[in-house]
Amino acid sequence: MTTLARRKFLSSAWALPVLAAPLSSVAKPISEKSGQVKLGVSSYSYWHFRPPKVSIETVIDKTARLGVEGVDILHRQMDSEKPEYLQKLKRHAFLNGVDLISLSIHQDFVSPDSDSRKRNVEHTKKCIELAYQMGIPCIRLNSGRWGTAKNFNHLMELRGNEPILKGYTLKDGFRWCIDCIEECLPKAAECGVHLALENHWGLTRTPEGLLHIANAIESPWLGVLMDTGNFLENPYDKLEQIAPKTTFVQAKTYYGGGEWYTLNLDYDRIAAILRKVGYKGYVSIEFEGKAPADEGVAKSVAMLRKAFA
């Protein structure tokens, strides 16, 4: 075709009337198509801090076989922090069609010792960098707790209601926590890693405590992680209070009876709470029951798929 003929063809083509596509073939807006949340599996579901430890690679394999979209990695379950290990996990997840969706870390900002708070800030920054290297967009934060309970089992005996450290006040704890999170935010913004503060005992045992911290910090890099199993009394009213600020969800299940306690959670009701606020993020399963993990996680997947469908 000559240059002149090509020009005539193009000009005539633009002049042709545009035929309307059938309505069924027109793509719907994203907001209409993305009504169903994506599920994830926490690696904690397969390892409750007792031997033998289950590898993250194994959790990725199991998650892929269940057809679940993502894995929420428990930092303490990782075999290493070396770059080659991080990239190995990233590659393994990609080849299995699984997203790495969150890194759940442990840190404690509630301490009168400024050196202790500084160490925990630096640990959090390091974990933000680890998440960045693995392509993980979110980390789970704790507020920390007073340390007056002897151990976690004692804390559970207290129903998470730990006495305040003698000589200090709740106001002190909130100030330490808020200041520490604010120190971490520039690193979060630099790496593009979202910080999700969990209702995880300590200062965040109540919705009022959790929201006091979340509302005190104005940043797009801080949100709330809703753990459905960490409000032991009247959970639905409390989950409803934190739902508007929720950016990640960890959904507890207890098949076979819970390791520390058992809640009979109504996930149809929880799904309705999240739909009401337009939540479209991940819901990561944290199976915390005594049944075999493969059984408990599979049942949890089926139940949550139905609840959030």
Kindly report the CATH number assigned to the domain that includes residue 297. Answer: 3.20.20.150
18 has pLDDT over 60: no
pLDDT of residue 60: 98
Domain-embedded: residue 53: yes
**How confident is the model over 84-134, as pLDDT tens digits?**
999 999 999 999 999 999 999 999 999 999 999 999 999 999 999 999 999
Domain-embedded: residue 106: yes
Range of the domain at 103: 35-308
Domain-embedded: residue 44: yes
- DSSP per-residue string spanning the chain: --HHHHHHHHHHHHHSPPPPPPGGGSPPPHHHH--SPEEEEEGGGG-SSSSSPPPHHHHHHHHHHTT--EEEEEGGG-S--SHHHHHHHHHHHHHTT-EEEEEE-------S-HHHHHHHHHHHHHHHHHHHHHT--EEEE-------SSSHHHHHHTTT-PPPPTT--HHHHHHHHHHHHHHHHHHHHHHT-EEEEE--SGGGSSHHHHHHHHHH---TTEEEEEETTS--SSHHHHHHHHGGGEEEEEEEE-TTSBSS------HHHHHHHHHHTT--SEEEEEE-BSS-HHHHHHHHHHHHHHHH-
Domain-embedded: residue 21: no
Domain-embedded: residue 10: no
Model's pTM, two decimal places? Answer: 0.87
Domain-embedded: residue 218: yes
Counted domains in the chain: 1
17 has pLDDT over 60: no
Domain-embedded: residue 166: yes
Domain-embedded: residue 287: yes
